[in-house]
Chains A and B, each alone.
Chain A
Amino acid sequence: MPGLTQPYVGRAEPVATAGEERVRLQDVCIVHGRGDSAVVAVEGADLEVGAREIVSIVGHSGCGKSTILRAIAGLLPNASVQGDLSVMGRTPEEARKSGLISMVFQEAVLAPWRTVEKNVTLPVEVARGRTRKPTRTASEQLELVGLGGYEKRYPKQLSGGQRQRVSLARALMMEPEVLLMDEPFGALDEITRDEMHTELLRIWENTHVSIVLVTHSITEAIFLSDRVVVMSSYPGRVADTIPVDFPRPRRNELKDSREFAAISQRIRLCLEKNR
Chain B
Amino acid sequence: MTTVAAPVLAKPPVRAVIPPATRSGIAVRLFKMTRSWLVLGLAVVLWQVVVEAFDIPLYILPAPTEMITAFVDNAGLFVDGLIATTVMALGGFGVAVVVGVALAVLMARSALFEELVYPFLNVIRVMPTVAIAPLLIIWFGRNAIPIIICSFLIAVFPILVDVAHGLMSVDEDLVSVMKLANASELSILLQVRIPNALPYLFSSFRVAAPGAVVGALLGEYIGSREGLGYLITVYSAQLNTAAVFVLALLSCLVGIVFFNVCVWLERVVVPWKTVVR
Contact = CB atoms under 8 A, between A and B. Distances in A.
A130 B270 contact: no
Please indicate which of the listed interface residues A97, A109, A122, A131 has the most CB atoms of chain B within 10 Å of its own CB: A109
A127 B184 CA distance: 10
B183 A126 contact: yes
A165 to B, nearest CB: 15
A130 B176 contact: no
A6 interface: no
A170 B178 CA distance: 11
Given A126-B183, A156-B272, A75 B178 contact: no
A126 B178 contact: yes
A171 B195 CA distance: 21
B18 interface: no
Nearest to A70: B176
B145 interface: no
Interface residues of B, number: 22
B156 to A, nearest CB: 25
B275 A99 contact: no
Nearest to A98: B182
B40 to A, nearest CB: 37
Contacts of A157: 275, 277
Interface stretch (A38-46, A100-108, A188-196, A233-241): A100-108
A96 interface: yes
Interface residues of A, number: 28
Given A75-B179, A103-B180, A170-B177, A122 B275 contact: no
A126 B191 contact: yes
Nearest to B270: A113
24 contacts: A75-B176, A97-B182, A99-B181, A102-B180, A103-B180, A105-B173, A107-B171, A111-B174, A111-B192, A112-B273, A113-B195, A122-B177, A122-B181, A123-B177, A126-B178, A126-B183, A126-B187, A126-B191, A127-B181, A127-B182, A131-B182, A156-B277, A157-B277, A170-B177
Given A109-B173, A122-B178, 13 more contacts: A73-B176, A73-B180, A111-B191, A111-B192, A112-B272, A113-B195, A113-B270, A126-B178, A126-B181, A126-B191, A156-B275, A157-B275, A174-B181
Please give me the 3 A-B residue pairs with the lowest Cβ-Cβ distance, nearest first.
Answer: A123-B181, A109-B174, A105-B173
Interface of A: 70, 73, 75, 96-97, 99, 101-103, 105, 107, 109, 111-113, 122-123, 125-127, 130-131, 154, 156-157, 170-171, 174
